[in-house]
Amino acid sequence: MSETPPLSPVEIWLVEDNELLRQHLHTNMESDERVRKVLSFPCMEHALKALEKEDPPQVLLSDLGLPGMDGAEGIKLFKEKCPDLEALVLTVYDDREKVFEAIQAGASGYLLKDSTLEDIVEGCIKVARGESILDGMIARMMLNTFQKKKNVPSDLRLTPREMDILNGLAKGQYMKEIAYELGIKFTTVNFHCDNLYKKLHVSSQREAITKAKRMGILFGLMLY
């Protein structure tokens, strides 16, 4: 597997109504050499207004429970105005239902507010590279929603385990790493990977990820 090329420092817009947390994240993220610039806002309305004067960032990092417009609605509007922007949800609770709403609105994943600063910056870097930060449960919710709404033929439907394998590949994991993370044998990963490739009519990891994104079953793409 080829090494991921280095990414230029990213620009991040932070939307968080907790002033102390907002200031803490702003100051510490901006001091990271991988971050070029940080703008922070107490609400989505202010962030959207800033688009009238500022170029959009690469990454929008937003709380969900905001005063006025909530995070999911704001992310949807940002994605409509700036399709190339990547969005991440920043939340206190591991509330998958609310996070799933934000994923449907266009977010590429989520981080918990008690994550380390390193994990938060690394998450922003990953989504700027086109990766995603989703756990298995949300990924399966996305898959089920996609298959119901798109009426996917049975021969193209991915099983939960195949979706687990696909997510691992998209995260850049080796087959042995996927097997270890899922607690299954290497040969089992190979078996599901072969089935995955057959269903998607592809012959490589890159093709599988590209086609899954294009179909809308992977990583924060619109499901409707």
Identify whether residues 156 and 124 lie together within a single domain.
no
Last residue of a domain, one of 69, 104, 128: 128
Identify whether residues 15 and 116 lie together within a single domain.
yes
CA pair distance 111, 123, nearest whole angstrom:
8
CA pair distance 115, 134, nearest whole angstrom:
14
Contacts of 119 (CB under 8 A, 6+ apart): 111
Identify whether residues 119 and 141 lie together within a single domain.
no
Last residue of a domain, one of 79, 107, 128: 128
Whether this prediction's pTM lies above 0.75 is answered by no
Q: Which domain holds residue 75?
A: 10-128
Is the Cβ–Cβ distance between 129 and 7 less than 8 Å?
A: yes
Identify whether residues 55 and 21 lie together within a single domain.
yes
Identify whether residues 19 and 96 lie together within a single domain.
yes
Q: What is the pLDDT of residue 211?
A: 81
Identify whether residues 62 and 111 lie together within a single domain.
yes
Asked, for residue 124, whether it belongs to a domain, the answer is yes
Asked, for residue 4, whether it belongs to a domain, the answer is no
Identify whether residues 88 and 164 lie together within a single domain.
no
State whether residue 60 is helix, strand or coil.
strand
Query: Residue 122: exposed, middle, or buried by beta-carbon count in 10 A (0-12, 13-18, 19+)?
Result: middle
Asked, for residue 20, whether it belongs to a domain, the answer is yes
Q: Say which DSSP state 11 is in.
A: E
Below-70 pLDDT ranges, the chain? 1-7, 93-95, 134-156, 216-224
- Residues β-bridged to residue 142: none
How many domains is the chain built from? 2
Is the Cβ–Cβ distance between 81 and 107 less than 8 Å?
A: no
Question: Which CATH number do you get for residue 172?
Answer: 1.10.10.10
Identify whether residues 145 and 115 lie together within a single domain.
no
Asked, for residue 222, whether it belongs to a domain, the answer is no
